[in-house]
Chains A and B, each alone.
Chain A
């Protein structure tokens, strides 16, 4: 009896589910950190994606091969943890059956999640990850951000020119792939330019650490010309004030992980006047970028940070690839493959974070900017560096 009832229920489910699948929707998964260490990153990603979805669905849907599809975005929280990013990716691929995935944002989660996407033959594009390992030898994984081997030299050259620095110290997060990778690239590049031994201190810390006084004491005792801190914004907001309280008066140089909208609310006055390299500068933007910033500002009341802008670009790249397939078959495996091929065939893309050309690894070749944190707490454009 029970079995029969189950059968009836199952067949009903299938009956009702089939039209739902055949309905004209495109499902895209978002693997983003909505809780954990960097919740602002997930929030900004989601807001940018929601704005894009409203645009397209409001205009009647996405046109693929003459057929209109409504967009459905599935947001899953990866808690800013590497292991959760892996399960989230699997869930999106297997349970939610998404056509493609956007995110994870941070390299710490994007590197392991990229492996899952590649193994399961589903397209993944990470908006914010800059570590080379994310896309390396993974034909199914793409990105919208520049790479750390490019960002590292940008920071080195800028610091040498602007600070007239002859030596430097580095403080980085050892358990974060992004931070560690960038710190090592920076050290190699700086020593290549300024001579061996010019990195006076190369200190590390853990992700959950709140007290950095021991590392900073070691660094300050060496009297470096500046300190390079490729850390997440929440840690930057602890490190910079603590260094000031230990009597350090020199400069800091940061990386793109500083560029969150939340940096200034957490860090306050101590971070003003510092520089970091990033993907775009909101203050003084023009054209499509300005239009995006204004609309975002009007909708959410905040200036979009680089994650928001990159999520916007990454999602649009995915949608363009879907359009380039010239029609979806409705069969998941075949469509995913078609999207990958269309994605790999995109020669260049005009994004709001600059124009990008994709190389064979799925990495864009694009410009980086260095911004200064102004006295009012905005990120002011200082210099643009192109490859």
Chain B
């Protein structure tokens, strides 16, 4: 029994890591622009596909061994995915911001961008699923009836490292300070000589880069890719970010793990039909008591 509980906790940590990594991207963009970037789940999907192409290229065309391919795929995918995020910002969001459009229109634009990404993928690559090539041999370790693999541990550790890195960037660096300043007062910031557009681009680079990382790790853990893979997980990660307190990095991180844990534990002890019912009831109760989320504070500094 104890082994089963610990096993489920490890499962929950792995599943929660993906929610956390995606939720971080939502929260960063929201923190700076108060924009809910609904295309983020699909940027995660694009990240997984980019990882697929880069990895396939590294393994077959370049003929690299698995570990070297992985070492190159991770940074390349993160860079390429962040370029996708920045392109969206440049093409879709910035023109609207320049014209002073209401936030609602930007959110709708984001939704449409997400759909465009999904369906462009469907049109270009077809409906057939892609099988992600294995890059590292997964070893199954068993300690006292609890099984875990090197990949599972790597996923959880990466999520924690990314959180620490982002928390450090936002609270300790100049870029982070500028991000927080923008969320305070959009109008005063340019007057202080801060290049606002550059900071916003940096935000998208960080958020989409993390989505790219989540894409690689997800594709390695669940090696079947399809165009709609990012939609549902993106929505859920957004909810996780809201429950954690959107705009707060700690909140997104904790919210992701919380949602992952509730989902896995509900399925472990109830029929699977209860999963979303119980998971979202729990989140609703949390929001009822803390409408701004676990870490969110109404109307003060965000991020």
Contacts and interface: CB of A to CB of B under 8 A. Distances in A.
Interface in B179-210: none
Interface in A34-92: 34-36, 39-40, 43
A238 B273 contact: no
Nearest to B271: A204
B222 interface: yes
**Which of B131, B233, B267, B268 gathers most chain A CB within 10 Å?**
B267
Contact of B264 (A40, A213, A262): A213
Contacts of A241: 223
Contact of A221 (B3, B15, B129, B222): B3
B3 A247 contact: no
B126 interface: yes
A262 B263 CA distance: 30
A40 B224 CA distance: 14
A312 B193 CA distance: 71
A211 interface: yes
Contact of B138 (A34, A174, A221, A245): A245
A268 interface: yes
Interface residues of A, number: 33
Contacts of A246: 7, 140, 147
A359 interface: no
A266 interface: yes
Interface in B95-146: 122, 126-129, 131, 134, 138, 140, 142
B272 A245 contact: no
B3 A211 contact: no
A157 interface: no
Nearest to B142: A247
Contact of B14 (A213, A238, A262): A213
A208 interface: yes
B8 interface: yes
Given A205-B272, A211-B222, A213-B15, A35 B122 contact: yes
A335 interface: no
A193 B159 CA distance: 48
A142 to B, nearest CB: 28
Contacts of A211: 11, 15, 222, 264
A205 B3 CA distance: 22
Q: Contact size class for B?
A: 35 or more
A39 B264 contact: no
A247 B267 CA distance: 19
A257 interface: no
B128 A40 contact: yes
Nearest to B273: A174
A35 B15 contact: no
Interface string B1-40: 0011001100100110000000000000000000000000
A210 interface: yes
A80 to B, nearest CB: 9
B149 A245 contact: yes
Contacts of A206: 272, 275
A47 to B, nearest CB: 13
Interface of B: 3-4, 7-8, 11, 14-15, 122, 126-129, 131, 134, 138, 140, 142, 147, 149, 151-152, 222-224, 229, 232-233, 263-265, 267-268, 271-273, 275
Interface of A: 34-36, 39-40, 43, 174, 203-206, 208-211, 213-215, 217-218, 221, 234, 237-238, 241, 244-247, 262, 265-266, 268
| In the complex, the 6 A-B pairs of residues with the closest C-beta atoms, listed nearest first | A247-B147, A39-B127, A213-B11, A214-B267, A35-B127, A214-B268
